[in-house]
């Protein structure tokens, strides 16, 4: 028993040394680019969770939502009360209407707001929710997105969400997570639920 305890504390000590070393080596201070992609549920939830976390620390946040359904949005209802700016593509692209001309115009309109956010050093965190689709559909030129992200203020962080993130966005990002779909209630005929799905 004592031998096992000793082995356990040796292992824990080694683990602690490894983690301490990593912490000591992490010296860079900069804003981060996070990409949350994949087919499972939880990408926007994660993005908004990060915004809530930042707001809780008194940081200034801004949100752009590129795809909006016909429902109101719990995150917006809450976060606007905490002075989080929301820019929403409320005309144009939804899953129902897919008209290339009006969608492109709507995407570019909100993209101008994003460019402004990405140049504003007073904004600590920008959430670009579902922007991956705008790039995949060529509504917003990939090069413009990359350039704006590369030239943003040094301490500004950005979260990008959406399925099938472009390879170039993944390469540019500091942290990339892929949410895997294991199962989703919708597939067994359960309706979307207020507070859970929107
Ligand atoms: P959420 O906003 O819940 O975090 P998400 O951002 O990961 O979801 P989206 O692709 O943006 O996923 O889809 C948003 C809506 O579609 C939500 O209502 C969500 O519950 C639903 N959804 C997400 N993933 C799936 C899936 N794999 N199958 C069916 N519906 C899904
Ligand atoms: Mg989403």
> Where do the H-state alpha helices sit in the chain?
2-25, 43-56, 74-79, 100-117, 131-136, 142-150, 167-172
**Per-residue pLDDT at 50:** 98
Q: Which helix (H) or strand (E) holds 61?
A: strand 61-65
Residue nearest to atom 2 of ligand 1 (CA): 44
Sign of the alpha-carbon dihedral angle for 139, 141, 142, 144: negative
- Compute, in angstroms, the gap from residue 42 CA to the centroid of ligand 1: 7
Cβ atoms within 10 Å, residue 68: 19
Q: Give the angle 195-44-130 at the CA atoms, nearest 5°.
A: 130
130 CA from centroid of ligand 2 (Å): 6
Cβ atoms of 176 and 34 closer than 8 Å = yes
Q: What is the DSSP string of 107-159?
A: HHHHHHHHHHHTT-TT--EEEEETHHHHHHTTSS-HHHHHHHHHTS-TT-EEE
Q: Which atom number of ligand 1 is nearest to the Cα of residue 179?
A: 7
Location of structure tokens 């801004």:
62
Task: Tell me the sheet residues that pair with 125.
Answer: 61, 157
* CATH 3.20.20.210 fits domain 31-188: no
User: Which one of 36, 41, 42, 182 would you pick to mutate in the ligand 1 pocket, going by the greatest count of ligand atoms within 8 A of its CB?
Assistant: 41
Q: Note the ligand closest to the C-alpha atom of 198.
A: 1
Ligand closest to 73 (CA) is 1
Which ligand gives the minimal distance to the CA of 69?
A: 1
Pocket, ligand 1, Cβ cutoff 6 A: 39-45, 130, 161, 163, 179, 181, 184, 186, 192, 197-198
List pLDDT tens digits, range 63-122.
999 986 556 789 999 999 999 999 998 765 555 556 788 888 889 999 999 999 999 999
pLDDT(2) > 80: no
Q: What is the pLDDT of residues 129-153, one digit of tens each?
A: 999 999 998 999 999 999 999 999 9
CB atoms within 10 A of CB 59: 13
Ligand 1: residue whose CA is nearest its atom 25: 41
Whether residue 35 is predicted with pLDDT greater than 90 in this model: the reply is yes
CA of 178 to the centre of ligand 1 (A): 13
Name the residue among 74, 40, 53 with its Cα closest to residue 187.
Answer: 40
Q: What are phi and psi of 123, to 5 degrees?
A: -95, 120
């Amino acid at each position: 028993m004592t031998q096992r305890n000793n082995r356990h504390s040796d292992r824990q000590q080694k683990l602690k040394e490894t983690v301490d070393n990593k912490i000591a080596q992490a010296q860079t201070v900069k804003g981060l680019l996070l990409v949350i992609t994949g087919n499972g549920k939880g990408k926007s939830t994660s993005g908004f969770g990060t915004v809530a976390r930042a707001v809780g620390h008194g940081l200034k946040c801004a949100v752009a939502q590129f795809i909006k359904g016909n429902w109101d949005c719990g995150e917006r209802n809450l976060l606007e009360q905490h002075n989080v700016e929301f820019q929403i593509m409320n005309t144009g692209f939804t899953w129902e209407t897919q008209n290339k001309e009006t969608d492109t115009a709507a995407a570019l309109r909100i993209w101008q707001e994003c460019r402004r956010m990405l140049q504003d050093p007073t904004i600590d965190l920008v959430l670009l929710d579902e922007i991956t689709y705008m790039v995949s559909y060529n509504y917003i030129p990939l090069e413009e997105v990359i350039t704006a992200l590369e030239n943003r203020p040094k301490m500004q962080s950005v979260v990008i969400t959406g399925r099938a993130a472009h390879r170039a966005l993944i390469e540019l990002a500091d942290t990339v997570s892929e949410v895997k779909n294991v199962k989703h209630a919708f597939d067994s005929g359960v309706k979307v639920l207020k507070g859970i799905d929107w």
